[in-house]
Amino acid sequence: MVPPMPNDIKPRRKAVSWSRAELADRAGLDPRVVQLVELDQWREFEALGRLDTVLRRAEAGEENPRLSPPEMPEDTDTEST
């Protein structure tokens, strides 16, 4: 899957009448990520994919689309005590 271009996110968000904070919450992301995506300063594939997925579900008429927050990687600190 090719993620959407960042400049597609803002008009799609506005078309479903969501704030940046609401889109971020529904996509399981920090609102600053949505802001940076809309300013074309963030192109991380997973974040773009999450935004696209939740927007597509809303555009298809799903009443309350929401994704679980992404899993955090386990701590890989190998420092011995």
**Residue 22: in which H helix or E strand, if any?**
helix 20-27
Fold of 6-59: 434 Repressor (Amino-terminal Domain) (1.10.260)
Report the pLDDT value the prediction gives residue 35, as an integer from 0 to 100. 96
Burial class (CB in 10 A: 0-12, 13-18, 19+), 47: buried
- pLDDT tens-place string over residues 14-73: 999 999 999 999 999 999 999 999 999 998 999 999 999 999 999 999 999 999 988 877
Domain residue ranges in the chain: 6-59
- Check residue 5 and give left, alpha or beta (phi > 0: left; psi -120 to 50: alpha): beta
